Amino acid sequence: MAQDFDADVIVVGSGAVGSNAAYELARQGKSVILLEAGPSVPRWKILMNFRNSGRHYDHNDPYPNNPWAPTSYQPGYLQNTGSFEMMPGMLKLVGGTTWHWGGATWRYIPNDFKLNSLYGKGRDWPIGYDDLEPYYTRAEYQLGISGGDGEDQSGTHKGQAYPRRSKPYPINAEKFTYNAQKMHDALGTQDYAMCTEPTVRIHKPWDGRPACEGNNNCDQVCPIGTLYNGSIHADKAVRAGARLITEAVVTRIEVGDGKKVRSVSYMTPEGKETKLTAKVFVLAAHSFETAKLMMMNEVGNSSDMVGRNLMDHIGIGMDLMAGEDAMWSGRGPVQQLTIMNWRDGDFRKEHSANKTALANGNPQISLAEAAINEGLMGKELDARIMRDSARYQFVYSFLEMLPSPANRIQPNPAWKDSLGNPGIKIHFDVDDYVKAGAVVAREMYQDMAKRMGGTIAKIHGFENHDHLMGTLIMGADAKDSVVNHEGRSWDHDNLFVASVGVIPAAGVVNPTLTAVALAIRSADVIAKEV
Amino acid sequence: MGTAAVVAVASGPVLPVGAHAAGAAATDVADLQKMAHLVTGKQVDQALAERAGSAITENHPGFPAALAKLQDFAASNNITDVEMLKDAPGFEGDLKDTAKLLIGALYLGYSGTPKALSSVDDVKFVTYTQALTFQLTHPYTPIPSYSRWGTGYWAERPGRI
């Protein structure tokens, strides 16, 4: 007797990754239910929340923080036990955490997929660059990305376009900001491998999104909808026939015959539970939340790798007072000029790679606060604010963390949300590979400051950058990984994971595009099976 | 109850006697606005001064009384602007801290102590676009989220617009 299902596919999580999977499946004629723990909130409300708050340093602040679906900054929700305080920004609403991000959408380079084979460190991917390239292209056209076709993004292929691309970027690269151009000129192309950051913050209209006006507010909320976020594909999925259910906190996963997942259950804010069945399930609820959900239900964890191998692009940064007096951070893109001197090479046998970039966020309130705390007033205060605002530049580096099972997240039953679901316990230590890489980055900072005729005001210690890879690690062996190259659970044929959490080798580039490409690839696999 | 009333009520019972003697007690909105002008050297909108006073008072209930002392200090020493105030003998300790609270609220647009990576702290909103820092810098950079400068402006050398 044929079994009835509520949908062909249920996708848990409406962020950029889950929504792209849902859209691809709906577009290919599958019935899809998309579950989201948070609400759907229109942009104007988020923007007004931002403008009417004094808490602009808290990038989660304008977004819903509900007792049943808290953001990561809800006190107690994330509890750290390691030497490093891992506190990523995490949102719960339709569209997910891409509501606030820099918009960087890099591809990994071929050597990133073979880290262990080439350099004897970390893990290899179970697939190579060529396997993923067509999906990178599809993801870039879905997200609408601006980038430089002719540029070397590896730092090792000077004068060539690299990595290989089967299609040009949908939108060309924009001009450098004034301060980026000044930095580019001061550093010089002889010694510095520089390129433009590929971005979903577009300088030409695309797919209904307007060209960027340079609001310099990507990390909080784009006021005009230029910057891509996952809600765009949640909406597209609905228009293609998917059913979106908001404020649906998935808490249970039920496994039936043949180790197949039979159902998921979600709770409403009032605690009412609803069970839904499907042929296939895709977990795309953020790399922390997905791992927590799987562990809460003892699903897909025969390897004991769920929640382990947490990798972020732990990084350092530099406050630089440039010699040039018209640099003025805060004009236009929040990120753009990128330095790839240390992205790839034999040095990866010894220390972490790094990606270093100029951050262009508006620093003025922080600079003014420091001057006021110093006791400056009147004309002296105004002069200091203007002097520092004109010169201040923030340079930051991502470092390449290696996967370690000891770096992990777990459900934390000592903290519960309003529905009784646990918080998240994190244990994270920065490894020696990263520490050695930071030494190299600091040396580069000294050289950069000298070439720019500036002075280093401060070098910041290790900070997280919200790129939470490894917790759902992909591999070639069921004994030491969570999913295979398709994103399919080794333990349950009809369970897929779509998340940056599947990435097994972190490299040094922002991982969202790779996760979307993998999700589209998984959707193609699923579409052939249901 | 409006914000002005909050300040007035909170400050009323703790006024120093000397404040009346100097004829300049910080008990009403007008005085708050004058004090905002005194500590910043700028004309500050009355409503903005009220908002700043109210926000500071939420975290520092003694602020109205402290501001009255600062006003008394200025009156007693014939201090009429911020450049005189900052170098005045005796302008230190609580007097200077009180001035910094008001300066901070007006320049930063909030009062309180930010706590990073937490949804909970004591920061109170005062203003965004009227923050005096942005009033200084907006010829060179747009106030974030308020750009009407057109795509690509960022490639040009910053200058007064």
Could you say which of B103, B155, B159 has the minimum Cβ distance to residue A175?
B155
Active site residue A184: no
CA–CA dist A468, A401 (Å, integer): 11
- Tens of pLDDT, residue by residue over A106-123, are 999 999 999 999 999 999
Of A47, A55, A331, the CB nearest to B154: A331
CA A188 to chain CA centroid, nearest Å: 30
pLDDT tens sequence across A65-110:
999 999 999 999 999 999 999 999 999 999 999 999 999 999 999 9
Q: Which two tokens stand for residue A479?
A: 């004994």
Least confident of A148-152, A217-221, A498-502, B1-5: B1-5
Structure tokens at A426: 């994190």
Q: Which residues does A40 contact at the CB level (< 8 Å), separation at least 6?
A: A93, A94, A231, A244, A246
Q: Is the CB of A215 less than 8 angstroms away from the CB of B126?
A: no
Q: DSSP letter at A5? A: -
A354-359 vs A335-339, strand pairing mode: antiparallel
Task: State how far the alpha carbon of A265 is from the alpha carbons of A104, A366, B6, B52, in Å.
Answer: 34, 45, 49, 48
Residue A481 has pLDDT above 60, yes or no: yes
Both tokens of A482, joined, read 């969570």
User: How far does B120 lie from chain A, in Å, by closest CA?
Assistant: 7
Question: Are A36 and A235 in contact, with CB atoms under 8 Å apart?
Answer: no
Alpha carbon distance B37, B120 (integer Å)? 31
Interface touch B152/A174, C-beta < 8 Å: yes
Nearest CA in chain B to A380: B83
Q: Using the Cα atoms of residue A353, residue A359, residue A365 and residue A370 in order, give the sign of their dihedral.
A: positive
CB–CB contact A377 B82 (8 Å): yes
Chain B nearest-CA distance from A5, in A, is 40
What's the confidence (pLDDT) of residue B23?
Answer: 38
- Are A178 and B82 a contacting pair at CB < 8 A? no
Contacts with A151 (C-beta within 8 Å, 6 or more apart), sequence order = A161, A173, A195, A196
Give the other-Cβ count within 10 Å of A234's Cβ: 30
CA of B84 vs chain A CAs: smallest distance (Å):
10
A386 contacts B152? CB cut-off 8 A: no
| Best to test chain A binding among B154, B160, B161 (most A CBs inside 10 Å) | B154
Chain B neighbors of A51, CB-CB under 8 A: 128-129, 145
Contact, A212 vs A226, CB < 8 A? yes
Question: What pLDDT, on the 0 to 100 scale, is given for residue A324?
Answer: 84
B residues 40-59 lying closer than 8 A (beta carbon) to A: 40-41
* Average pLDDT across chain A, whole number: 97
Taking each helix axis from N to C terminus, what angle separates A364-373 and B93-108, rounded to the nearest 10 degrees? Answer: 170
Find, among A462, A476, A466, A527, the residue nearest to A504 by Cα. Answer: A476
Name B30's Cβ contacts closer than 8 Å, sequence gap at least 6.
B46
Q: Cα separation of A472 and A514, whole Å?
A: 14
Determine the Cα–Cα distance for residues B148 and B153; give it in Å rounded to an integer: 10
Determine phi and psi for A514, rounding to 5 degrees. Answer: -65, -40
Closest residue by Cα to residue A401 from A288, A284, A507: A507
Whether residue A18 contacts residue A289, with contact meaning beta carbons closer than 8 Å, is answered with no
CB-closest option in A53, A178, A327 to B156:
A178
The answer to whether residues A303 and A478 touch, using CB atoms and an 8 Å cutoff, is yes
CB A287 within 8 A of CB A499: yes
Read off φ and ψ for residue A307, nearest 5 degrees. Answer: 85, -10
- Residue A444, both tokens: 């580069």
pLDDT tens figures, A302-346: 999 999 999 999 999 999 999 988 999 999 999 999 999 999 999
Contacts of residue A333 in chain B, CB cutoff 8 Å?
Answer: 154
Contact A372 B125 (CB under 8 A): no
B98 touches A: beta carbon within 8 Å:
no
Tokens representing residue A208 in the block: 């209904």
pLDDT at position B160 is 57
| Active-site hit among A286, A427, A467, A492 | A467
Measured between alpha carbons, how far is A334 from A100 in angstroms, rounded to an integer? 12
Closest chain A residue to the Cα of B36, Cα to Cα:
A378
Q: What is the DSSP string of chain B?
A: --HHHHHHHHHGGG--HHHHHHT--S-SHHHHHHHHHHHHSS---HHHHHHHHHHHHHH-TTHHHHHHHHHHHHHHTT--SHHHHHT-TT--HHHHHHHHHHHHHHHHSEES---TT-S----EE--STT-HHHHHHTTTSPPTT---S-TTGGGSPP---
Residue A4's CB is within 10 A of a number of other CB atoms, namely 6
In eight-state DSSP terms, residue A402 is P
Fold of A7-529: FAD/NAD(P)-binding domain (3.50.50)
Distance (Å) of CA A274 to CA A39, A251, A281, A484: 17, 10, 16, 30
> Per the CB < 8 Å rule, is A381 touching B100?
no
For the sheet containing A392-399, what is the strand order? A194-196, A335-339, A354-359, A392-399, A315-321, A455-463
What is the model's pLDDT at position B3?
Answer: 34
Residue identified by tokens 């300040």 is: B7
pLDDT digits (tens, 9 = 90+) for B95-142: 999 999 999 999 999 999 999 999 999 999 999 999 999 999 999 999
In this prediction, residue A2 carries a pLDDT of: 57
Cβ atoms < 10 Å from Cβ of A475: 23
What is the average per-residue pLDDT within A412-420?
A: 98
Q: Cβ distance A317 to A460 under 8 Å? A: yes
Answer whether the bond into residue A42 is a cis peptide, omega within 30°. no
B100 contacts in A (CB within 8 Å)?
372-373, 375
Share of chain A above pLDDT 90, in %: 99
DSSP track, A154-188: SSSSTTS-BS--SS--SBPPPPPPHHHHHHHHHH-
Instruction: Name chain B contacts of A69, Cβ cutoff 8 Å.
Output: none
Chain A residues touching B103 at Cβ < 8 A: 372, 377, 381
| Shortest Cα distance, chain B CAs vs residue A73, angstroms | 4
Whole-angstrom distance, CA of residue A171 vs CA of residue A266: 40
Are A65 and B86 in contact (CB < 8 Å)? no
Q: What is the pLDDT of residue A3?
A: 74
Segments in chain B below pLDDT 50 = 1-29, 161
Contact between chains at B157 and A221 (C-beta distance less than 8 A): no
Q: What is the pLDDT of residues A133-185, one digit of tens each?
A: 999 999 999 999 999 999 999 999 999 999 999 999 999 999 999 999 999 99
- B80 and A CB contact within 8 Å: no
3-state secondary structure A327-381: CCCCCCCCEEEEECCCCCCHHHHCCCCEEEEEECCCCHHHHHHHHHHCCCCHHHH
In angstroms and rounded to an integer, the radius of gyration of the C-alpha atoms of chain A is 22
pLDDT at A233 over 80: yes
